[in-house]
Structure 1
Amino acid sequence: MTVTRAPDPAPHDDPPRYDRTVDPAEKIIASQAWLDAAAEPLQRAIVGLYERGGKVGQRVEDFLHGKYIGTPLHPILVTIPIGAWSVAAVLDLMELRGRKDVRAGADLAVAIGLVGGMAAIATGWTDWARSGDSPIKRRVGFVHGSLNESAFLLYAGSYLLRGGRARATARGLGFLAYTISGMSAHLGGTLVYKEGLGVSHTAGQRPPDEFVPVLADADLPENVPTRVKAGEVPVLLVRQGEHIHALAETCSHLGGPLSEGRIEGDAIRCPWHGSLFRLSDGYVLESPSAHAQPCFLTRVQGGQIEVRPGRSPD
């Protein structure tokens, strides 16, 4: 087989395609171009904050993206406020029916939700800031995060009022915040399940199980990212000395073409959002990707480079 050039990256600034979804909320939010006036500067500010932090900022961002656990951290942390505030809502309803003995439990649940909510908000905004230039992701994500912030502030107010005479107002604020958080959760599901934010963009690729020839050995230059295909799956080849490294060419973060990326020592950096992957095993060296790149075993047979899925024992 012969080497093929990477296709042009899918345009991220295309206007939203409203026929791609039947979700009315997504349609409405995605069409509100005025949101960009607040969303775009906020994305730049968040990214700039981490970049100004140097190595420390990079490590903090890596942690918040979920690099160290190999999966996004935000979906894990959101279970804390959602679960705690669900308990608080139930206990507040019980209090309305005359159960005064549940007050302490409701107040504690609200407090736990606030602590977990701070962590969930930090990871959510971090993921969103690196979500690319898609108007849909930018606008829906901005509204999703803003609703979460609103729910958090309402719960904070509810907690402060629970120790005084305004307990009925505190419960009302809690019920309102819980409703808002539910609306936000719907948009969060849209971002993940419809827009693919936070999922691995290599998950659906199925290369051949056996070694297949992809390129003549003589045609692979030193330290030049080269795109080939194993079956229908794009593969990245990089020759470094005696080693030929092979990774999935589609970036797991948001589908960027790694063959257009930059070699940095024994790693390659995605040209779209800057994720850095180790060539030998696809390990994420720098986020925003939390998912390692699938890697391939390589060999040279009859002058042809052959690949199959697998990780080198080296």
Structure 2
Amino acid sequence: MEAAPMILDPVLPVWALVIVGGALAVFAIVQLVAPGRGRGRGRWMWLSRLVMVLLLVLVALRPTLPASTLPPAASGDVDVYFVVDTTSSMAAEDWGDGEPRLTGVREDILTIAETLIGARVSLVTFDAVTVHRVPLTTDVSALAQATRALEQEITTYSAGSSIDEPVDYLTDILTTDASENPERSRILYYLGDGEQTSGQAPGSFAELAAAVDGGAVLGYGTDAGGPMKQYTGYDDGTEPGYIQDYSTGADAISRINERALGTIADELGVPYIHRDADSSVAEATEGIRVGNVETPDEVPASPGEFYWIAAIPLAALALLELAWMLSTVLRSGAGGRIRTGRRVSHG
């Protein structure tokens, strides 16, 4: 096997090290060749300091041999897409003990992703626009981080929800995935409350069915519904108020529309599952097999760092410099006491 080339992993930008190290080296050279240095102790100390500068720059450049093996990576044969409604209605407080529906969404995504470990995962959200927050990846931690950060849309930007908003975008990415990776299965989870407030009838999801091999439509909310807190996009230290129903002057109430969610499920060819805090989401992953998840047998090698080779003589020269400084101070102090004790004759 051909040896890997040595690389540099500097603690500062190389240009900064060149400027600082060069200035210190030039200063040491000027002192070293200054007239009157001769061959005494002072000249040797400035030569030592020049060597220390060069060694310090070498340590800061951190010469390294890269790891000889790559980190292990899971490789199943399933792509999982989570499509999440983040309109204001998903902030309705009828999940569990009066929590927002998005709380349940976050919990369910993380549980499903953990169950289907090894699959590639992706996160798409939609409100007024569709956003692809996490492209397909085997890095579940990236999905988890994005999921925990999910928030409802900013209230002032809300212009009515449309449950079919992501259809065009999903059609594009799913058909592209199917054409590029025909050997992989595509699982789609649609997580929402089915509330359509845009004033228009929702479009169909049927065109996506050919690109979807499984999944589920997960519904959040209750028939009684719940109020929704406003969201400004920032925290100013005050408790946000609730979104108002201007026709009544009271808090607006959002209710789940299970008929609309059931229609989406039928069009996609997947089951509809109503979710609540007292039940398990395990039903959503039944029958889904990620396939053989393979990881390399080799443990990834740590990169070999060689800065310590230069650090050893640097430390030795630094100790020599410290010893020289201490001896100089001690000699100066002793000389001062002798001069202080000398008698002066006035003749």
Q: TM-score interval w.r.t. the shorter chain?
A: under 0.3
TM-score computed with the length of structure 1 as normaliser: 0.25
Structure holding more helix per residue: 1
Q: Highest CA radius of gyration, 1 or 2?
A: 2
For CA contacts below 8 A with separation 6 or more, give which structure has more relative contact order.
Answer: 2
